[in-house]
Copies of this chain bind each other. A is one copy, B any other.
Amino acid sequence: MSGAKGGARAVREDRLWQRHADMAKLGGTAKGGVNRQALSAEDAAARNLLASWAHARGFSVFTDAIGNLFVRREGADATAVPVMSGSHMDSQPTGGRFDGMYGVLAAFEALEAMEDAGVKTRRPVIAVAWTNEEGSRFQPGAMGSAVFAGRYALDDMLAAKDWEGIALRDALASTLAAAPAPMRPGKPGFAVAGYVEAHIEQGPRLENEHKTIGVVTGIQGSRRYIVQVDGEEAHAGTTPRAARKDAFAAATRMAAAMYAATADEGDTLRFTIGRVEVHPGSPNTVPGRAGFTIDLRHPSDEILEAQEKALHEIVAREAAPCAARIERVTNVAPTDFDPAVIDLVRARAKALKLPSMDMPSGAGHDAMHIATLCPAGMIFVPCERGISHNEIENATPGDLAAGTRVLVAVLEELANR
Contacts and interface: CB of A to CB of B under 8 A. Distances in A.
A239 B204 contact: yes
Contact of A362 (B238, B272, B288): B238
Interface stretch (A73-81, A110-118, A251-259): A251-259
A202 B243 contact: no
Copies of this chain, complex-wide, total 2
A252 B259 contact: yes
A165 interface: no
Given A94-B233, A202-B238, A239-B203, A274 B286 contact: yes
Interface string A119-146: 0000000000000000110000100000
A203 B295 contact: no
Contacts of A282: 92-93, 136, 274-275, 389
A19 B165 CA distance: 41
A283 interface: yes
A284 interface: yes
Contacts of A238: 201-203, 270, 361-363, 386, 388
A233 B389 contact: yes
A273 B297 contact: no
A329 B237 CA distance: 16
A141 to B, nearest CB: 8
Given A278-B275, A284-B274, A220 B237 contact: yes
A362 B285 CA distance: 13
Contacts of A242: 267
A20 interface: no
Given A93-B280, A389-B285, A270 B202 contact: no
Contacts of A274: 236, 248, 278, 281-287
Contacts of A283: 224, 272, 274-275, 293, 295
Contacts of A256: 252-253, 256
Indicate the member of A220, A275, A282, A387 with the most B CB atoms within 10 Å.
A282
Interface residues of A, number: 67
Nearest to A280: B94
A160 interface: no
B255 A386 contact: no
A203 B240 contact: yes
Nearest to A272: B236
Interface in A278-317: 278, 280-288, 290, 293, 295, 297
B286 A234 contact: no
B386 A234 contact: yes
A145 to B, nearest CB: 16
Nearest to A294: B283
A273 B283 CA distance: 7
Nearest to A385: B243
A256 B293 CA distance: 19
A346 B204 CA distance: 70
A119 to B, nearest CB: 33
Nearest to A269: B241
Interface of A: 92-94, 135-136, 141, 201-204, 220, 222, 224, 232-243, 246, 248-249, 252-253, 255-256, 259, 263, 267, 270-276, 278, 280-288, 290, 293, 295, 297, 361-364, 385-391
5 contacts: A238-B270, A249-B273, A276-B281, A283-B295, A285-B390
